[in-house]
Structure 1
């Protein structure tokens, strides 16, 4: 590959207006990462990773999928190979990722964290592994310092209701300037049809210190954990669902469905939907009473490769985009809450790009003037957090809503080296606006458009979450 510097000051910036917007307005804004999967234990212990494989490849199913596609044996991906060899095989993969966002992310992350601008490949893998790993052994490259280095102001990790939050408590007492919060993800208490549901209820009973033999007791246990999370500073919930369930039900019906499941009897699809609807609506109303923001990540088709799932477990790279119906039940769910004035601030993310316009128009049905951008169309995530996916999401939002009220980017990442994704997003936003200024479709009012860029990059999220 060419030795010419690839990551330049004007990387992805397509004209002089984009350059002015990025360098003058977006670049230095702090980061609010309101949804991710970073380990709070690593932050609490201020972990030093020791080498770049542990910091960069462990848990990163984006990279794992690319390596498998290239024909690399699993022992060099998630298996028993030495860390140095795993990195070498990733370096071998990188030149083949052209036009995949992994190519851009890889070079940005090497540049921003390690000052390494040479394109990663198999030939320089040994040098880069050694030099970056030496830095990662230094206290200057511990988890907390990696966040500070990227000007990260807020991080929201994602925890199950049974979590003790001991790591968050430790962080809160440490005086760490970056605000580390949690988000409440109770999907395992909702998905009554899942194989592990009964086992999970047992864990929830222990966490809440109360039995769960009825719908009321399940609600009491969840409320107990909601209040515990709230008392530990939580202001955000998150759900990862295929689509929003919605069915009419009575509490007596749902109580009977739960008791049937507790007896290990088979449920019908109708019974499952009634139960899921009841528990989700209960939770959503509690989020409103506590003043939380609720998030819904919709549309993933998970665990497709059962053979590899059995070997490696979930979240190891065997998920894809689903084609679930979204509009009708989402509308009914939001409307049921709004009709009781119990719809809290809500962010909706879709994984299928064909749903962009559905989501962009749906949010407008429930933005009632009470809060700026009350219902948000969330940024492109997972398979869509790349140039094309984010552009399409922002174009749909611009055409059918107000992108000026957009709360911007999040990492949704397990890696402490992922924060240049915010830079990637900001450069893209600036180029979208800059190109339309150049074409005469937007005025050359750089001060006003610069303010809009800063709002999307940081200010809107700061106001929306009010951490």
Structure 2
């Protein structure tokens, strides 16, 4: 290790009552939340790995390969990059993570690490250098016998919604649908690449989209036709959610279709677009997509607020998604209002979930979503679960408390992993324990009636029932 920090002596850290600080919390969690299945409606799992369904075999591959949280922790601990994203041997990488874990105390990485070791491998020991070799061997032995489908079933994951590009063939989802898995795996229409008209590779993306729809895109009208075709294709393959997560400011401006048609035509001819023209193009895509999502009765998701690829040295070394993204401080309220209001004005506003990355905007997002609720569905407009850097105990508590103050917590659709790892599903348990502890604290303070059955049902709704009723994954008829 880099210093003489002593070994952590505690084992059995993850007890049955982890995070549950009162008898009421224990009752709510163990009797009402613990055994519920999981609806993981947003993640970045690989549909290919699920379809092929071969054991991952190695804990380093399962844990460290794409985990930006762990990468950042290891960098903060002074670990060389070759042990993080480089070509060091897998066991050496795991050892360096084990070296880092004791230094993650009070970071959610410590809780997540120990929860995952306990739930998937029944390991009570704290991961650290003196336990690393034994844990590595035991975890790998178990992983060699468990396929992705089995790992999902082990955690009672009923539904997984992956994140998929509009041009994706969805061939792996089609393969999964033919297999008898406990977990249903659905695609999500992630629209980001449709907006990148200012980037050098946008024309190559249009070629990819052309190949997917099998006709040329030589005008804005044909682009819209291609988008509609892909939405229909995704719907036929079980998609019931869209997503958007482009970095930077979220900007909606006025435009006409005639203007955007000329802008797109100019772009195809090699013209240079102004920032105003780019914003008009993007705004037209936001509005068109929003109307189509409403038509298909999908849920639209907006992940807003990251400032990506801050470390240009790491970006050059590794590429995008090197784990050097952070919280941005963009203005969001006016453009969110403009988008949602414009769709609502023509009764074409779909069920919507928005997620903010900047915690200073918690109240902004919570109150914005409350502006557009109606009788279409209970909790139609959702302010989503604490996201990314906020996906930890303090962030979840603040999100739950703010939503309680400014909306209806009882209509909340609950937790998601937003993860690339098949070992990440104890995050739902983490959320459920935190939720139960918050409600129990209210009981103990006399802030809510001491009606365990009523509050237990509310917790079950937040953790499972609301998501089932909201997303309607089995819907087959057009709305």
Normalising by structure 2, we get a TM-score of 0.96
Partner of 1:117: 124
Other structure's SS at 1:389 match: helix
Residues matched between the structures, number: 465
Match of 1:152 in 2: 157
| Cα drift, residue 227 of structure 1 | 0.9
* Structure 1 partner of 2:250: 244
The alignment status of 1:205 with 2:210, answered yes or no, reads yes
Residues 75, 81 of structure 1: 8 Å contact kept? yes
8 Å CA contact 1:244–1:333 kept in 2: the answer is: no
Q: Unpaired runs of 5+ in structure 1?
A: none
Unaligned runs of 5+ in 2: 1-7, 474-479
Separation in structure 1 between the aligned mates of residue 135 and residue 88 of structure 2, nearest angstrom: 18
The equivalences for 1:227-238 within 5 A come to: 227-238=232-243
Write out per-residue CA displacement over residues 298-331 of structure 1, whole angstroms, 9 at most, x where no aligned residue. Answer: 0011111122112111112010000010100100
Note the aligned Cα RMSD (angstroms). 0.9
Which of 178, 183, 196 in structure 2 is aligned with 1:191?
Answer: 196
Q: How big is the shift at 1:200? A: 0.9
Q: Report what 1:20 is aligned to.
A: 27
Residue number in structure 2 paired with 1:134? 141
In structure 2, the residue matched to 1:385 is 391
Q: C-alpha distance in 1, partners of 2:310/2:267?
A: 25
User: Which moved further from structure 2: 301-310 or 396-405?
Assistant: 301-310
Matched, 1:162 2:167: yes
By how many angstroms is 1:4 displaced? 4.1
Deviation larger for 307-316 or 30-39: 307-316
Q: 1:297, 1:431 → 2: CA distance?
A: 27
Query: TM-score scaled to structure 1, two decimals?
Result: 0.98
Counterparts of residues 288-299 of structure 1 (less than 5 Å)? 288-299=294-305
Contact 2:304/2:354 (8 A) holds in 1:
yes
Deviation of 1:49 after TM superposition, in Å, equals 1.0
Distance 2:54 2:40 in 1: 19
Report 1:47-126 matches (<5 A). 47-126=54-133
Corresponding residue to 2:329 among 316, 323, 328: 323
SS of aligned partner of 1:158: coil
CA–CA separation in structure 1 for the residues paired with 2:402 and 2:287 = 28
Moved more, 187-196 or 352-361: 187-196
Asked if the contact 2:249–2:332 (Cα under 8 Å) also holds between the matched residues in 1, the reply is yes
What CA distance in whole angstroms lies between the structure 1 residues aligned with 2:354 and 2:130? 43
CA shift at 1:370, angstroms?
A: 2.1
**Is 1:180 aligned to residue 185 of structure 2?**
yes
Contact 1:25–1:450 (Cα < 8 Å) also in 2: yes
Match of 2:403 among 368, 376, 397: 397
Please state whether the residue corresponding to 1:174 is helix, strand or coil.
coil
> CA offset at residue 265 of structure 1?
2.6
Distance 1:292 1:244 in 2: 21
Deviations 1:161-217 (A, max 9, x none): 111100000000012121100100121111211232121111111111111121101
1:280-429 → structure 2 map (5 Å cutoff): 280-429=286-435
Instruction: Give the match for residue 267 of structure 1.
Output: 273
